[in-house]
Amino acid sequence: MTATGAVRDADGTDAADGPEDIGKRAAADGLEAIDKTKDGRDMTDTAAIARRLFTALQDADVPVIHELIAEDLVDHSPMFGRNAFERENLKESAVRFKTAFPDVRIHTEHVLADGDKVLVHEIVTGTNTGPFGEQPPTGRTMRVQAAHILRIAGGRVVEHWSVRELETMRAALGIGEDGAPHGG
């Protein structure tokens, strides 16, 4: 990564820079520290912001999602015909997903930050015990991966790109592309 980036393991350890260095770099870049994480890191640390967002998505923590997603976010990776990462869509989707998969876990396998961009490789697991869209619960478990690139400015996600394993999720849950149950 670059001198303005930080590399962290999935659990946030082995940082290339300490919280003080990250805060100083953010101030030098004209970014304002909006908050501190529970472990004391400046929220201008893009990796910490990404981790906080994905925890909020897992927990369907709507106020935190609202706080971390810019109102005018640009989503370069629409999903199911809509910009899934736009603030209102993302809040709604997080609640629906948590209802469909109450035991959902989003493990941030890799979080790599470089300047204002963060790459998040996530593994999502859960059991479909609630309605998923128009579909009744299947009782099946899933394990899918996705990779997201977030551009963060002023402590908020302002752009999003992603690659997702939607076909893997549908297959694991026994749901066809048309949303109807199939096989299994």
DSSP 8-class letter at 177? T
Any idea which residue has 């990796």 for tokens? 47
Burial class (CB in 10 A: 0-12, 13-18, 19+), 123: middle
Tell me, what's the pLDDT at 27? 52
Tell me, what's the pLDDT at 171? 72
Tell me, what's the pLDDT at 47? 94
d(CA 171, CA 183): 9
Tell me, what's the pLDDT at 178? 55
Tens-digit pLDDT string for the chain (184 aa)? 333 333 333 344 433 444 444 445 445 545 444 444 444 545 458 999 999 999 999 999 999 999 999 999 999 887 666 777 889 999 999 999 999 999 999 999 999 999 999 999 999 999 999 998 888 999 999 999 999 999 999 999 999 998 877 676 767 777 666 555 555 4
Which residues have C-beta within 8 Å of that of residue 174, sequence separation ≥ 6?
138, 140, 181, 182, 183, 184
Is residue 174 within 8 Å of 167, Cβ to Cβ? no
Where helices occur in 74-115 by DSSP H, the ranges are 87-100
Tell me, what's the pLDDT at 98? 96
The secondary structure element, H or E, covering residue 108 is: strand 105-114
Tell me, what's the pLDDT at 157? 96
Q: What angle do CA 99, 104, 108 make, to 5 degrees?
A: 140
Please indicate, yes or no, whether the overall pTM of this predicted structure exceeds 0.75. no
Tell me, what's the pLDDT at 181? 54
